[in-house]
């Protein structure tokens, strides 16, 4: 191994890349799962969501699907506003549209919201005012800018009171949000908030995409049941047995959202880990090929050892140990590389996304990578080693 340093390094490289890939993938998967769960938990257990489309069966929800039939309406929003046990309601619609001010323009996410959005999601204003209930009721064309959007459009100029165009329609700027970071993978600092009623009117939208609401002291399970009865009545749905697959909406609590996030995170880890594990197999095949070459090059040495009394088990152990050592060294270097690159990757995400991403060492990935790399050394090294141990000493000594 020391005589052929270049070959040794190249042989280990496949294992190094495979183990490092497994660790990096699992680390990113854990970080993403933790990020989603922290985002969900940050809004409090009294926040519930309503989306279009049915759930599944009697208890669970299917994955979010924006292609389902849109059924939530302004009428549903107003019914929720009338419930005295609900403390805040936010209706949401989204569009990616061109925003212009004089010579500056950019395409950003336009969020149509109600006056309660800033309360529900604990968003702070840097200057000016947020959307009011009068703005929502009268469908007024007013806008609140994310802090980065305000800077991109206006630079050092004061934006309050100025008029911008959203998809060629004029809106008056009434406020600028303080730095808010991201929410569910959406950068709030590069967005624009407008009354959802105004956006629906200007873009000819008939349905609301999401509704979120705070329930105060009412237990989430009871609140969820009340909303289901209310919306079934509003949508004229005959569903006395409460089968969620027969509804055209789905109500979820924070617990439901956390459970789905956990399932998605687990699936993501398995998927990423499986893809990365393929490189371990490739590395194992590479080691087997190199071991075959090594056996061929050292045929006379094997013959000499056997001629002076070496047993089959001695030759087998010699080459098998060599293959295992290669894999263990590669595994150790892969673990260090994987942890290091994972840490760097999370640090880069933190610069983009504040401190919402947390570095987590996937110990199961470390154990899996090291264990599999050792197993690969045994499995892929055994056949070349066995072949070497079965060489005839006389033929081996005569080999050229």
- What residue has token string 């892929």? 380
**Extended strands (E) in 205-350:** 210-214, 249-252
pLDDT digits 0-9 by tens, 186-196:
788 899 999 99
Which residue in 192, 205, 200 sits closest to 105, CA to CA?
A: 192
Write down the domain spans for the chain.
5-39+258-397, 45-253
8-state DSSP, 343: H
> Based on the number of CB atoms within 10 Å of its own CB, is 175 exposed (0-12), middle (13-18) or buried (19 or more)?
buried
SS3 letters for 348-380?
HHHHHCCCCCCCCCCHHHHHHHHHHHHHHHHHH
Average pLDDT over residues 164-191: 88
Beta bridge partners of 67: none
Q: What is the pTM of this model?
A: 0.65
Average pLDDT over residues 174-189: 83
Instruction: Give the model's confidence band at 59: pLDDT under 50 very low, under 70 low, under 90 confident, else very high.
Output: very low
Q: Give the N- to C-terminal CA distance of the chain in Å, as an integer.
A: 22
Q: Which residues contact 56 (CB under 8 A, 6 or more apart)?
A: 62, 244, 245
How many C-beta atoms surround the C-beta of residue 252 within 10 A? 20
Give Cα 207 to chain centroid, integer Å: 28
pLDDT digits 0-9 by tens, 319-365:
788 888 888 888 888 888 888 888 888 888 777 665 567 777 777 77
pLDDT digits 0-9 by tens, 10-58:
778 878 888 888 888 778 777 777 777 676 666 667 889 999 888 764 3
The whole-angstrom separation of Cα 118 and Cα 149 is 18
- Tokens encoding 318: 């010699």
- Tokens encoding 328: 């263990």
* Range in 119-123, 290-294, 330-334, 338-342 the model is least confident about: 290-294
- Tokens encoding 83: 């419930």
Which residue in 281, 283, 377, 365 sits closest to 16, CA to CA?
A: 283
How many C-beta atoms surround the C-beta of residue 164 within 10 A? 24
DSSP annotation string for 122-182: T--EEEE----HHHHHHT--EEEE-HHHHHHHHTTS--TT-EEEETTEEEEEEEEEPP--E
The whole-angstrom separation of Cα 338 and Cα 335 is 5
Longest dimension (CA), the chain: 100
Handedness of CA 248, 252, 258, 259 (dihedral sign): negative
Helix (H) or strand (E) holding 263: helix 254-297
């Amino acid at each position: 191994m020391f005589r052929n340093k270049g070959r040794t390094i190249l042989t280990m490289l496949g294992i190094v890349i495979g183990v490092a890939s497994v660790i990096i993938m699992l680390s990113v998967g854990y970080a993403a799962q933790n990020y989603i769960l922290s985002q969900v938990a940050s809004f409090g257990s009294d926040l519930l969501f309503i989306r279009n489309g049915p759930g599944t069966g009697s208890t669970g929800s299917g994955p979010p699907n924006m292609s389902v039939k849109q059924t939530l309406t302004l009428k549903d929003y107003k019914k929720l506003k009338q419930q005295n046990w609900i403390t805040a309601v936010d209706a949401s619609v989204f569009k990616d549209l061109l925003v212009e001010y004089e010579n500056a323009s950019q395409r950003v996410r336009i969020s149509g919201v109600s006056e309660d959005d800033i309360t529900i999601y604990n968003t702070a204003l840097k200057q000016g005012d947020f959307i009011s209930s009068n703005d929502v009721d009268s469908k007024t064309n007013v806008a609140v800018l994310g802090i980065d959007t305000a800077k991109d459009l206006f630079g050092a100029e004061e934006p309050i009171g100025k008029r911008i165009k959203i998809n060629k329609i004029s809106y008056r700027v009434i406020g600028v949000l303080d730095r808010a970071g991201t929410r569910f993978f959406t950068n709030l600092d590069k967005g624009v908030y407008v009354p959802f009623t105004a956006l629906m009117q200007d873009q000819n939208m008939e349905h609301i995409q999401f509704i979120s609401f705070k329930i105060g002291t009412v237990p989430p399970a009871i609140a969820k049941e009340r909303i289901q009865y209310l919306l079934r009545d509003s949508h004229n749905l005959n569903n006395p047995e409460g089968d969620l697959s027969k509804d055209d909406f789905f109500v979820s609590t924070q617990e439901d959202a956390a459970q789905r996030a956990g399932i998605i995170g687990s699936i993501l880890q398995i998927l990423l880990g499986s893809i990365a594990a393929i490189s371990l197999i490739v590395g194992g095949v590479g080691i087997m090929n190199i071991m075959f070459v090594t056996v061929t090059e050292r045929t006379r040495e094997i013959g000499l050892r056997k001629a002076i009394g070496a047993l089959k088990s001695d030759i087998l152990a010699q080459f098998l140990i060599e293959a295992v050592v290669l894999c263990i060294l590669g595994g150790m270097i892969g673990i260090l590389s994987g942890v290091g690159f994972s840490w760097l990757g999370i640090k880069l995400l933190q610069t983009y996304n504040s401190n919402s991403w947390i570095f987590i060492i996937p110990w199961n990935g470390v154990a899996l990578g090291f264990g599999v790399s050792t197993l690969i050394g045994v499995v892929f090294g055994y056949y070349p080693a066995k072949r070497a141990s079965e060489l005839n000493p006389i033929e081996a000594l005569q080999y050229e």
